[in-house]
Amino acid sequence: MARGAHLADWYRTAVAAPAVIDRGRLDALEARENARFVAERPKSMALLERSRRTMPRGVPMSWMDDLYEHPPVFVADGRGAYLTDVDGHSYLDMYVADMSAFCGHAPDLVVEAVRRRMAHGHQFLMPSEDSIAVAEHLAGRYGLPKWQFTLSATQANTEVIRLARAATGREIILMFDGKYHGHGDATLVVLEDGEVVPEEFGLPRWITGQARIVGFNDIGALEAALAPGDVALVLAEPAMTNAGFILPEHGYHEALRRLTRDAGTLLAIDETHTLVTAYGGLTQEYGLEPDMLTIGKSIAAGVPLGAYGMTEDVASHIAPPGEHHVVSGVPIAQVSTGGTLFANALSMAAGRAALLGVLTVEAFERTAELGRRMAEGLRASIEAARLPWSVVQVGAHAAYFFTDNAPRSGAESRAVDDPRLRALMRVWLANRGVWESGWWLGPTVSLAHTADDVDGYVGLFGQCLADLVTAEQMQD
Ligand SMILES: Cc1ncc(COP(=O)(O)O)c(C=O)c1O
């Protein structure tokens, strides 16, 4: 997800999409749909009024209010592919909590594992046997031999950065324009007029000196940025998911791996979002060979769990051969990792149930088929409305762009975005029972979705476009 000040700038400055949607029509629909949204949710609006007295912006985490242009609604329930708000509206969930609910809501196996673990205690600051099963499973699934656990993907990325710095003796992290890797200081930087700047308020200016950002799919820029030999780590999604859905061009990953090796730079692949696209993520799908790999969100069906895998070589910096970590309250020389609740028995039990019982090969084959069905349906609706838009899809995930040429980089994606239009489509769909993704992401089919769910979504998407496009435009 892209966030905060950066998101606000994008909203203000993004150029309007090609003038195919009449702006007068957009104004009228916006007023109608936003008014309907508020009027039909009196309980949520009353809760919001109450919650504003004790929580800034009326939400327990402020970007719950950033996610959409319409006011936040309070959730009551979730089951399978659907969630219900406190006013009793049921929504087909195409956002799946920014991909963290990819397993569907309340999957039986995970509910049962969590119930069992809670009944026997869940927080000991001791390893449970589930953690071995999860680490063994992840090693086979993603092809890296050693694993550590956190509570979120942000924390996994934070630790991977520290490990890379310890392993290389360098400080600089290289990332790609349009990325999001969580809210750790080191990754909260963006490009502004070619300069690296802090992404949001509250970040020290000096963090910009620790980061380099280049455009995705630009091998020349990557080579130049690695040339000084001072980059500890390249942190990259295998396909970018936080500025639409941007696929790597042919040969890009080969170049990335070759150039990082030549520069003595470690490579971490962040599969936090893309893990929904294929059983072993795009790392296995593309045959990538990262030094480290980070995941989170849906690996324990949304119960807090983050993880990172690493090569034996990288792991040696956590467990140096022959070194004894015997301490009694005295800090010893080691990489700074860990937290009291990290790898708690509840997270590991949920992770074991989700990874081994829910996120199966067959489940991925099914969602990939549904993902294709969704993409074809979206394309057909776009064609019927005669809009010059495009759809990108891999496995369960898709994104639509307001251009017929799918973007190759974050900059290209920003240039064709139309946040007002996207916000309008979202509220239009919410008013008719679809919880569409945030505007930067695109829809995802969860493991609980059926073909009927996908057809229902695509049908409403088509109706939404027909409402957006005026009758004269349809005839042109
Ligand atoms: C690619 C990627 N990595 C890491 C994160 C951070 O995940 P979390 O907020 O669960 O820590 C995100 C969140 O959107 C993400 O998109």
250-297 per-position pLDDT tens digit: 999 999 999 999 999 999 999 999 999 999 999 999 999 999 999 999
C-alpha 293/C-alpha 393 separation (Å) is 22
| % pLDDT > 90, the chain | 86
- d(CA 264, CA 452) in angstroms, rounded, equals 50
**CB atoms closer than 10 angstroms to residue 420:** 19
Question: If you measure from the C-alpha of residue 384 to the centroid of ligand 1, how many angstroms do you get, rounded to a whole number?
Answer: 35
Ligand 1 centroid from CA 157, angstroms: 9
CA of 327 to the centre of ligand 1 (A): 34
Segment 131-158 shows an average pLDDT of 98
195: helix, strand or coil: strand
Q: Are 233 and 225 in contact (CB under 8 A)?
A: no
**Is the distance from the beta carbon of residue 272 to the nearest atom of ligand 1 less than 6 Å?**
yes
Query: For residue 314, what is the enclosing H or E element?
Result: helix 312-315
CA–centroid distance, residue 318 to ligand 1 (Å)? 23
**Residues 116-125 pLDDT 10s:** 999 999 999 9
Q: Which of 84-98, 431-445, 453-467 has the lowest mean pLDDT?
A: 431-445
The span from the CA of 108 to the CA of 194, in Å, is 49
Q: Does residue 4 have a pLDDT over 60?
A: no
Measured between alpha carbons, how far apart are the two ends of the chain, in Å? 37
Residue pair 400/382 in contact (Cβ under 8 Å)? The answer is: yes
Q: At residue 207, does pLDDT exceed 80? A: yes
CA distance 43 to 66: 20
Q: Name the more confident of 334 and 231.
A: 231
Distance 385 CA to ligand 1 centre (A): 34
Which among 85, 155, 202 is positioned nearest to 338, based on CA atoms? 155
pLDDT of residue 286: 98
**Residue 397 DSSP SS3:** strand
- Ligand 1 pocket mutation pick from 63, 188, 237, 273 by most atoms within 8 angstroms of CB: 273
Q: Is the distance from the beta carbon of residue 153 to the nearest atom of ligand 1 less than 6 Å?
A: yes
Q: How far, in Å, are 164, 166, 323 from residue 317 at the CA level?
A: 9, 7, 11
| Structure-block tokens of residue 221 | 């820029």
DSSP character for 51? H
Residue 128 in contact with ligand 1 by CB distance below 6 A: no
The residue whose two tokens read 């759809």 is 391
Tens digits of residue pLDDT in 353-372: 999 999 999 999 999 999 99
d(CA 11, CA 6): 9
Cα dist. 139→119, 133, 284 in Å? 29, 10, 12
Q: Which residues contact 314 (CB under 8 A, 6 or more apart)?
A: 146, 163, 164, 167, 266, 291, 292
Q: How far is the CA of 179 from the centre of ligand 1 (A)?
A: 10
Query: How remote is the CA of residue 1 from the centroid of ligand 1, in Å?
Result: 7
**Distance in Å, CA 18 to ligand 1 centroid:** 31
**Does residue 400 contact residue 389 with C-beta atoms inside 8 Å?**
yes
Mean pLDDT value of segment 210-215:
97
CB of residue 242 inside a 6 A radius of ligand 1: yes
C-alpha closest to that of 15 among 400, 421, 382: 421
DSSP 233: E
Give the atom of ligand 1 at the shortest distance from the alpha carbon of 296: 10
Query: CB-hemisphere CA count at 13 Å for 421?
Result: 24
397 pocket-lining for ligand 1 (C-beta < 6 Å): no
**What is the 98 CA–ligand 1 centroid distance (Å)?**
9
| Res. 98: pLDDT tops 90 | yes
- Which residue, by CA, sits nearest to atom 2 of ligand 1? 181
- SS3 call for 58: helix
From 63, 149, 181, the mutation candidate for ligand 1 (largest count of ligand atoms within 8 A of CB) is 181
- Tokens (6 digits) for 436: 């569409």
> Which residue is closest in CA terms to ligand 1's atom 11?
154
Mean pLDDT of all residues in the chain?
92
What pLDDT digit, counting tens, does each position of 14-50 carry?
444 444 788 889 999 999 999 999 999 999 999 999 9
**145: number of Cβ within 10 Å:** 14
User: How far, CA to CA in Å, does 197 sit from each of 8, 93, 233, 432?
Assistant: 15, 35, 19, 40
Q: Dihedrals φ, ψ of 230, to 5°? A: -115, 10
Helix (H, G, I), strand (E, B) or coil at 464: helix
Cβ–ligand 1 contact at 181 (below 6 Å): yes
Query: Which pLDDT does position 39 carry in this prediction?
Result: 98
pLDDT at 438: 73
pLDDT of residue 420 exceeding 70, the answer is yes
Q: Is the model's pLDDT at 440 over the cut of 80? A: no
**Which of 7, 272, 295 for mutating ligand 1's site (highest number of atoms within 8 Å of CB)?**
272
Q: Which 3 state secondary structure label does DSSP give 199?
A: coil
Average pLDDT over residues 86-112: 98
Write the single-letter amino acid at 404.
Answer: D
CA distances in angstroms from 419 to 106, 240, 242, 446, listed in the order given: 32, 19, 14, 25
User: Any idea which residue has 């905060």 for tokens?
Assistant: 4
Per-residue burial over 426-442, b if 16 or more Cβ lie within 10 Å, else e, is bbbbbbeebbbbbbbbb
Give tens-digit pLDDT for 50-70: 999 999 999 999 989 988 889
Identity of the residue numbered 465:
L
Predicted local confidence at residue 471, as pLDDT? 55
Q: What's the average model confidence in pLDDT over 391-409? A: 96
Q: What angle do CA 277, 234, 308 make, to 5 degrees?
A: 55
